[in-house]
């Protein structure tokens, strides 16, 4: 399933559109070092972090995109950098646990 399709089905707000890649799974963490060490390529990363470094980490790990939970939204510089890098940044009012469960049910449960 692709990022835009997941965003539509889960009601995620698209803050920055990027390359509409295939989502291979999800990863939930608010620690950048944890994401660098453990997230796998193609995952949709769920976090409350909203600073510029999230874009760099997502690019380093070749993630499908970032979902900001609890209604978090980054400042314009973060969105600008994400657009330059072709990275999706999405937002939801759901907490990380809830959006992770919804993502799992949509993308992974049938595998």
Alpha carbons 60 and 6: distance in angstroms, whole number: 22
pTM, 2 dp: 0.95
pLDDT 10s digits, 42-99: 999 999 999 999 999 999 999 999 999 999 999 999 999 999 999 999 999 999 999 9
Where are the domains positioned within the chain? 3-108
The yes-or-no verdict on residue 32 having pLDDT over 70 is yes
Max CA separation in the chain (angstroms): 38
CATH code, residues 3-108: 3.40.1390.20
Residue 57 CB partners (closer than 8 Å, separation 6+): 32, 35, 36, 45, 63
Alpha carbons 86 and 83: distance in angstroms, whole number: 5
Q: Which of 16, 21, 1 is nearest to 85 (CA)?
A: 16
Specify the pLDDT at position 38: 98
Q: Could you give the count of Cα atoms lying within 13 Å of 85 in the half-sphere of its Cβ? A: 25
Specify the pLDDT at position 14: 97
């Amino acid at each position: 399933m692709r990022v835009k399709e997941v965003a539509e089905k889960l009601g995620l707000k698209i803050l920055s559109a990027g390359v509409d890649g295939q989502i291979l799974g999800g990863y939930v963490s608010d620690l950048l070092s944890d994401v660098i060490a453990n997230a796998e390529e193609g995952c949709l990363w769920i976090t409350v972090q909203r600073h510029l470094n999230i874009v760099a980490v997502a690019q380093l790990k070749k993630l499908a995109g970032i979902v900001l939970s609890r209604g978090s939204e980054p400042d314009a510089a973060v969105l600008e950098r994400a657009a330059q890098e072709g990275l999706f940044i999405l937002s939801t009012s759901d907490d990380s646990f809830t959006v992770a469960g919804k993502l799992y049910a949509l993308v992974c449960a049938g595998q």
